Amino acid sequence: MADGTTSTLSNPGLSFADSRDVDVFVETLARFERGELSADQWRSFRLVNGTYGQRQEGDLSMVRAKIPQGALSADQLVAVADVADRFSRGFCHITTRQNFQFHFVPLGQVGEAMHALARAGITTKEACGNAVRNVTTSPTAGVADDEIFDVTPYASALTRFFLRRPIASSLPRKFKIAFSGGGRDHSFALVNDLGFEARTTPEGARAFRVTVGGGTALMCHGGRELFASLPAVEILCVAEAVARVFHARGDRQNRKKNRLKFLMKQLGWDTFRALVLEAYDQVRAEETPTLGFDPESPPRQESAPASRSVAPTTSQLDALVTFDRPRGPGITPKFLSVLGDAEGERFLRTNVRGQAQHGYSIVTVVVPLGDLSSGRLRALAALSRAFSDGTVRTSIGQNLILRWVPNQELRTLYSLLKRIGLAEPDPESIADVGSCPGAESCKLAVTQSRGLADLLGARFKSNRSLVDRAAGVSIRVSGCPNGCGLHHVSTLGFQGGLRKIDGRAVPQYHVYAGGDLSGPDAKFGRIIGKVVARRIPDVVERLVGHYESRRSEGESMTQFLARAPVAELRSAISDLEKLDANSATADDYVDLGESHAFTPATTEGECVA
């Protein structure tokens, strides 16, 4: 634990906080308020300390808590609940990079919120801004039955290596890193600036395939292989080398087009790779950074918990959630009973997966729209102590994962999750749609992406037969081209935009089809149409039917959408694209999740600040 941390966290391995970061934030805010700092200086500082301005007038902020590898203890979940209650809307949001976000926090209260998080070992340092962002992994790392090895200790070591390191918070643009252990779970490593995929050498030593320059948004680009098999001991050296090249060569003026992938394109692959290898040699010639453990025998090994808490009773859970009152503005979470799954058979089939360790299972808790209320957070903390190992993992799919659940306790856990309205089946299906915050709070977003995700989820939760017909299909929504909702790499992705009809704005979405990151190379969705917001559920149903009528034997819908000609897919939904003043309804002029006429107003997004 870093000096200055006031945390009493029971698991110090999950603490990344230092209370002095918060003290500096509070002092710097005071300097800004006294006029000693310009608006640009203050913005750069607060961003790299995890605080975004929102699109609303005034001083409302979004605070992002950095959750390395998506791992939190039960105590940390309770702390997140407390912050959501005291400073936000009574709920928080899980992001596609495994973090927690709190929206509509008054700027004057951000320091208090940060201190509350820091006491639990949670930091906001370098969660935003032109910095090394959260290092992500699969939430099943260490317990997946088909991974090559557990990448968690290596990802954690790289997190600690860069955290508070000067170069890590002074880059030309944000810098994203992901680790994958192999197998069917992954962390979207191919669309990160740096991706590490577990490998073993012919001799059985641990190594990583290293890819560089991946990303979505303005120029979708799969990471290019830098090393086919890098010894695990060298990961810090390589990461430092790439960061140095980016720091030195990145264009700090035209930041909208300066992720690492643009620098690679500008320099050319051969030149870029030569610069990285030169920097790599320099790092190794200096005092070589070390992992802090034997790379062949890392200290963090998964094992069954030595003890568990007594399971909470239904009355205790009721007490935690009875006064749970998520509040607006914006769409608030609803936790409803699941219809048609009284015994939990569908949940047990779709949300439960056998663990590598015999007798235990991994359980996915679906979190609609990625939103969790304070009462449910506290209830999940209690359930994690009783049924898991006292920790949870956030996922890129914006859900929560419980590990080390004894197989004989699965039905009991299901019944208690159902009691608190968190027993939805079919994670990361067309009934569990991922989304960025969109125009609810983001300055750059055009549309209310959460409104569309909510509409799609509601439509297909009531039609589970369609969920089965579209097995393996993921849907993600973004409110703008930046793609924080990861729509470019989903089976079906929707990107917010607008059209004008007789001078009036109508919300619409670009339809992307065929994105897939399950293979060795990244496949990005192709645009097959532009459809008004309220017709998007019809687009999904239409494409499911088209797939069923045209698929090859054994072909998944993802595979079909990736190989079918764009003209064919466009033709399948072309009638849904058509809209004019005569066919438009009054609702078409209102964005989903809103009650007033659609009046898009965007400003420069702080993600490019």
Are 498 and 446 a contacting pair, CB within 8 Å?
A: yes
Range name among 172-176, 184-188, 327-331, 443-447 with the lowest pLDDT average = 184-188
For residues 27 and 305, give the distance between their C-alpha atoms in angstroms, rounded to a whole number: 42
pLDDT in tens, 260-312: 999 999 999 999 999 999 999 999 999 878 999 999 999 877 899 999 999 99
What is the DSSP track for 526-569?
EEEEEEEGGGHHHHHHHHHHHHHHHPPTT--HHHHHHHS-HHHH
Q: Is the pLDDT of residue 7 over 90?
A: no
φ/ψ of residue 221, rounded to 5: -150, 125
Pick from 101, 166, 105: nearest CA to 398: 101
Mean pLDDT of 568-595: 97
pLDDT, residue 604, reads 65
CA distances for 562 relative to 431, 443, 527, angstroms? 21, 32, 11
Burial grade of 201 (CB within 10 A; 0-12, 13-18, 19 or more): exposed
* pLDDT averaged over every residue in the chain: 94
Percent of the chain with pLDDT over 90: 89
CA distances for 183 relative to 44, 144, 169, 286, 518, angstroms? 39, 8, 33, 36, 9
Q: Is the pLDDT of residue 466 over 60?
A: yes
pLDDT in tens, 213-233: 999 988 999 999 999 999 999
Helices (H), 268-372: 269-285, 314-321, 345-350
Q: Is the pLDDT of residue 191 over 50?
A: yes
The strand ranges marked E within 417-517 are 434-435, 475-478, 492-501, 504-513
Pick from 330, 360, 391, 331: nearest CA to 139: 391
For residues 124 and 118, give the distance between their C-alpha atoms in angstroms, rounded to a whole number: 9
pLDDT, residue 8, reads 39
Delineate the domains of the chain, giving CATH numbers in brackets. Answer: 12-67+97-132 (no CATH), 144-285 (3.30.413.10), 314-419 (3.90.480.20), 434-608 (3.30.413.10)
Residues 6+ apart with CB under 8 A from 145: 183, 353, 354, 355, 356
How does residue 254 score in pLDDT terms, banded at 50, 70 and 90? Answer: confident
Mean pLDDT of 577-598: 96
pLDDT, residue 58, reads 84
pLDDT, residue 9, reads 46
Mean pLDDT of 68-87: 98
Q: Is the pLDDT of residue 83 over 70?
A: yes
Quick one: tokens of 243?
Answer: 């960061």
pLDDT in tens, 414-457: 999 999 999 999 999 999 999 999 999 998 999 999 999 999 99
pLDDT in tens, 35-59: 999 999 999 999 999 999 999 988 9
pLDDT, residue 57, reads 80
For residues 174 and 187, give the distance between their C-alpha atoms in angstroms, rounded to a whole number: 18
Three-state secondary structure call for residue 211: strand
pLDDT in tens, 336-371: 888 778 889 999 999 999 999 999 999 999 999 999
pLDDT in tens, 310-322: 999 999 999 999 9
Query: Which residue has tokens 């009638």?
Result: 575
Q: Is the pLDDT of residue 5 over 50?
A: no
Which amino acid is it at 3? D
Q: Is the pLDDT of residue 10 over 70?
A: no
How does residue 2 score in pLDDT terms, banded at 50, 70 and 90? Answer: very low
pLDDT, residue 600, reads 87
Three-state secondary structure call for residue 66: strand
pLDDT, residue 603, reads 67
Query: Which residue has tokens 């899980």?
Result: 94
Mean pLDDT of 556-578: 98
pLDDT in tens, 592-609: 999 999 998 766 666 654
- The secondary element (H helix, E strand) that includes residue 479 is none
For residues 95 and 191, give the distance between their C-alpha atoms in angstroms, rounded to a whole number: 16
pLDDT, residue 358, reads 97
- The secondary element (H helix, E strand) that includes residue 198 is strand 194-200
